[in-house]
Amino acid sequence: MHNTISSLTFDNTFIRELPADNETVNYRRQVAGACYSRVKPTPAAYPKLVAYSKEAAALLDLSETACKTDEFTQVFVGNKLLSGMDSYSACYGGHQFGNWAGQLGDGRAINLGEIVNNKSERWTLQLKGAGPTPYSRNADGLAVLRSSVREFLCSEAMFHLGIPTTRALSIIATGEMVERDMFYDGHPKEEQGAVVCRLAPSFTRFGNFEIFAFRNDIATLKKLLDYTIKTDFPYLAGDSAYFKELSNKIYLKWFEEVCKRTADMVVEWMRVGFVHGVMNTDNMSILGLTIDYGPYGWIENYDPNWTPNTTDAKSRRYRFGNQPAIAKWNLAQLANAIYPLIEDVDSLQQALVLYSTRFQEQWQNMMASKLGLRAFEPENDKILISDLLNILSLVETDMTLFFRKLALVDFQSDDFTSQDILLKYFIDVYYVPSQLTSSYLEQITDWLKHYAKRLSKDNLPHQAKRLQMDARNPKYVLRNYLAQLAIDKAEQGDFSLIDKLLELLRHPYSEQPDNEKFSQKRPDWARNRIGCSMLSCSS
């Protein structure tokens, strides 16, 4: 580990190998024929370190001592560029809420460069909220503390849950105020500014390819795809990586790989109850990483129709239960974008079928593991799972708590013919106990009997079953109200709850008896509070 950040080794292949914007003046504009524009961060007046992730720092070979230095703060707020940094923002387009939006780009993200660590891993360092870029359109390129805390905590929480994600190195308050209209109701107010440093092997999105296809700039499209395969998917190219030209067969292999990774990522979202909230194609990573933590949320009472995004409240396009279908729709837009390089509709359509098949298989295996089954058996488990999900949606049932409680039950000794025993285990998972009608209790009791019978077929000892279930069903997730409590404190200058939650979420599957209160279901005061139930895209 290094105690100074000056030891970082930069190898900026993205800007070295791809075409640049010839205009060097930073003003809002359409950028043609270029994958990026060089731009410098806007200096912050009074930067102050809010929090850092020691695990993310380790990816850069940085010690915790290095993270606590003034140099760290100055660099990762954007006030100081190290030797080797060559900062830029990327050009991309995208479909937003199902409609083509044209050029979007890194409107408030500035990449500092790519480092190669001592394991030969490549990590791109990106500041979010460090000022305007040519892609900022009518915005200021800044971010506020509220959204920065949410992104920082969720990035690291997802990593510890075992879900593919971009990472967050730090949050640094800028010491300046930023005007935001959080509710889009014409009543803006000033909020504290902040910058998050994000890490990923690549921040390339579906939209990076879409923009060049839309503009019929096939030459730049090809350069970007060749670079992406050689840099991020070299195993697909094999010896071809050493040659200038890649074949359309390799392009197709690449698209199939993106389909598989996307399917695996969304299955993991569904496993823990994560709702991205704004699955536009410009928010989809070609590496199958969760990217752009905006109006996300965690399913608390199980409701497949829930969306955390106020902008999506009417159509609910990005609702929890629709995420698998939206991912496929987004992949179809990526297929359209790279079609000029493949010119094989049937093969691209087969890759989309591959996505559906992969998702279904992985989802079934995931649900079987959540239920402590040895393996998914179609003849028994399809109905068992569908019946359970239907029952969970009948009354307000906390999804996270339900599966943890289910793991506690020893079906080899407990008698579930008694509703009293049922309530003994599960009463705490219900938000409105008055909803527990005799009809509902009869349904869930009947389901539990079928579940017990299915478990007896596996004949897995209770303790082994519980260990399996606890490894797949987290006890601690970043509940929406917990994030809001941390924000409330941070806005008063108290960052202690950010650190507390970061430590808590490092071990989401462990019992942590001293932190039991953080596993409890959403309190009544948070039911309809903005930040705890619904969020806007404003940050």
Q: Is the pLDDT of residue 165 over 60?
A: yes
Which residues, including other chains, have CB under 8 Å from residue 123's CB and lie 6 or more apart? 59, 60, 114, 115, 116, 117, 199, 200, 201
Q: Is residue 224 part of a domain?
A: yes
How many H-runs (helices) and E-runs (strands) does the chain carry? 18, 11
Is 419 strand, coil or helix? helix
Q: Is residue 485 part of a domain?
A: no
Tell me: do 242 and 193 sit in the same domain: no
Q: Is residue 147 part of a domain?
A: yes
Tell me: do 309 and 254 sit in the same domain: yes
The pLDDT value recorded for residue 476 is: 98
Q: Is residue 504 part of a domain?
A: no
Domain hosting 453: range is 373-459
Q: Is residue 415 part of a domain?
A: yes
Q: Which two tokens stand for residue 300?
A: 């608390």
Contact 535, 310 (CB under 8 A): yes
Tell me: do 146 and 258 sit in the same domain: no
Q: Which two tokens stand for residue 160?
A: 């510890």
Average pLDDT of the chain is: 94
| Element at 68 (helix H, strand E) | none
Q: Is residue 496 part of a domain?
A: no
Contact 168, 53 (CB under 8 A): yes
Tell me: do 197 and 295 sit in the same domain: no
Tell me: do 120 and 198 sit in the same domain: yes
Tell me: do 199 and 212 sit in the same domain: no
- Give the pLDDT band (50/70/90) at residue 349: very high
**Which of 45-59, 171-185, 456-470 shows the lowest mean pLDDT across its residues?**
171-185
Tell me: do 351 and 447 sit in the same domain: no
- pLDDT tens-digit series, residues 350-403: 999 999 999 999 999 999 999 999 999 999 999 999 999 999 999 999 999 999
Tell me: do 386 and 440 sit in the same domain: yes
State the catalytic residue, choosing from 21, 61, 226, 282: 282
The pLDDT value recorded for residue 238 is: 76
Q: Is the pLDDT of residue 47 over 70?
A: yes
Q: Which of 140-144, 232-236, 283-287 is predicted most confidently? A: 283-287
Q: Is residue 354 part of a domain?
A: yes
Tell me: do 119 and 159 sit in the same domain: yes
Q: Which of 344, 368, 392 is the C-terminal boundary of a domain? A: 368
- pLDDT tens-digit series, residues 238-270: 766 555 567 899 999 999 999 999 999 999 999
Tell me: do 198 and 212 sit in the same domain: no
Tell me: do 167 and 233 sit in the same domain: no
Q: Which of 459, 485, 518 is the C-terminal boundary of a domain? A: 459
Mean of pLDDT values over 161-185: 90
Q: Of 263, 237, 301, nearest to 432 (Cα)?
A: 301
- Give the pLDDT band (50/70/90) at residue 183: low
What is the rounded CA–CA span in Å between residue 59 and residue 166?
Answer: 12
What is the rounded CA–CA span in Å between residue 196 and residue 75?
Answer: 12
Give the number of domains in the chain: 3
Q: Is residue 494 part of a domain?
A: no
Q: Which of 154, 182, 203 is the C-terminal boundary of a domain? A: 203
Tell me: do 289 and 403 sit in the same domain: no
Residue 312 is among the residues annotated as catalytic for this protein? no
